[in-house]
Amino acid sequence: MKKIGILFGMEDTFPHAFVERVNEKNISGIVAEPVLIDKVVQNQLTEYAVIIDRISQDVPFYRAYLKNAALTGTAVINNPFWWSADDKFFNNCLADQLGVPLPNTVILPSAEHPTDTTSKSFRNLKMPLDWQAIFDYIGFPAYMKPYAGGGWKNVYRLENQEEFFQKHRETGQLVMLLQEEIKFEEYFRVYCLGGKAVRLMEYEPRNPHHLRYVVNRPPAAKKLLAKVKDYSIKLCQGLGYDFNTVEFAVRDGIPYAIDFGNPAPDADVNSVGQENFDWVVEEAAKMAIAYAKSQKPGKINLTWGTFMKDAVSMAKRF
């Protein structure tokens, strides 16, 4: 019997619906359940062929458990090694290489020195930075947000340089991105599962959280939808995320990728709505079952993006 587990925190609707959907399919030799961890011993197998991870970004113990599970043969969704290494600034850099339109973006050193460092730790950093060149490149209004993290935490909309310096001081040790504002006519949030199953959702990020998927706009052009789908697949395959959302702001008919590193995306029925919820539950169940069928015990069963696969194939140093 191959077990599919789901590791989760405070969310309720998606994890339980996922388990129910997998088990309703009654696939011979496959069963789903919430992950239950007793003890974690180095290099020992887990009882799960597949684990969908919805929480390890907030619980380091779970991330370590998943890395050990992946090493010993569990197909972990999403790859815990890549998730640990990834950040939103690198996402932008890779997206640029992939030819996906992006808002102008820079990364900034933290306003405060990280713990256990002093000004002497930053002798390689030119001070002051060329702020005027940065502001000329980005323009105002602009957005400032953490280079790692999500959930719309510590996100600022800035009108001018004075407001930037005021708010940047408030961010403490956070490393921030400063990003051009895309004044959009349309906005999409896109589920992408298994690098191929795509669900385009009209989205309004300026609405209250529970109303962001309630959008009253004319239907989008088919050509635009095809481009959004193509970019979503390109980004998720490049990064290697099995389960992700990608957000696009459309300006003058061009979809700009705004946020596309969301390996534990919102899947709560109360926010995404019943139709989107039913879709993501069904596709996640199908993906997990397919991964369980192909999983080889004791082998590495992780997804790696085209960036990592190409990098490894070219860098043969030892």
d(CA 303, CA 294): 12
Report pLDDT digits (tens) over 259-301.
Answer: 999 999 999 999 999 999 999 999 999 999 999 999 999 999 9
- What is the value of pTM for the model shown? 0.94
Q: Please, which residues bridge with residue 77 across strands?
A: 52
Confidence at residue 230, expressed as pLDDT on a 0 to 100 scale: 98
d(CA 190, CA 196): 12
Instruction: Mean pLDDT check: name the lowest of 75-84, 209-218, 292-301.
Output: 209-218
Question: Is position 277 within any domain?
Answer: no
Confidence check: pLDDT of 11 > 90: yes
d(CA 205, CA 165): 25
Question: Is position 24 within any domain?
Answer: yes
Question: Is position 208 within any domain?
Answer: yes
Contact 67, 291 (CB under 8 A): no
Among the three residues 180, 200, 220, which one is the final residue of a domain in this structure?
Answer: 180
Q: Measuring CA to CA, which residue among 307, 177, 183 is closest to residue 252? A: 183
At 2, phi and psi to the nearest 5? -100, 130
Examine the domain organization and report whether 96 and 227 are in the same domain: yes
Average pLDDT, integer, range 225-242: 98
Secondary structure letter of residue 211 according to DSSP: G
Examine the domain organization and report whether 122 and 162 are in the same domain: yes
CA atoms in the 13 A half-sphere facing the CB of 199: 22
Report pLDDT digits (tens) over 193-206.
Answer: 999 999 999 998 88
Tokens matching residue 206:
């300026």
CATH number at residue 62: 3.40.50
**200 sits in which H/E element:** strand 197-202
CATH number at residue 141: 3.30.1490.20
Confidence class of residue 218 from pLDDT cuts 50, 70 and 90? confident
CA atoms in the 13 A half-sphere facing the CB of 312: 6
CATH number at residue 224: 3.30.470.20
Question: Is position 234 within any domain?
Answer: yes
Confidence class of residue 72 from pLDDT cuts 50, 70 and 90? very high
CB atoms near residue 147 (< 10 Å): 18
| Total domain count, the chain | 3
Examine the domain organization and report whether 92 and 109 are in the same domain: no
Report pLDDT digits (tens) over 300-318.
Answer: 999 999 999 999 999 878 7
Examine the domain organization and report whether 7 and 40 are in the same domain: yes
Examine the domain organization and report whether 52 and 115 are in the same domain: no
Among the three residues 180, 206, 222, which one is the final residue of a domain in this structure?
Answer: 180
d(CA 303, CA 77): 8
Confidence check: pLDDT of 62 > 80: yes
Confidence class of residue 213 from pLDDT cuts 50, 70 and 90? confident
Question: Is position 174 within any domain?
Answer: yes
Examine the domain organization and report whether 11 and 79 are in the same domain: yes
Confidence at residue 215, expressed as pLDDT on a 0 to 100 scale: 76
Report pLDDT digits (tens) over 145-179.
Answer: 999 877 678 999 999 999 999 999 999 999 999 99
Which domain range does residue 202 map to? 87-102+183-262
Secondary structure letter of residue 110 according to DSSP: -
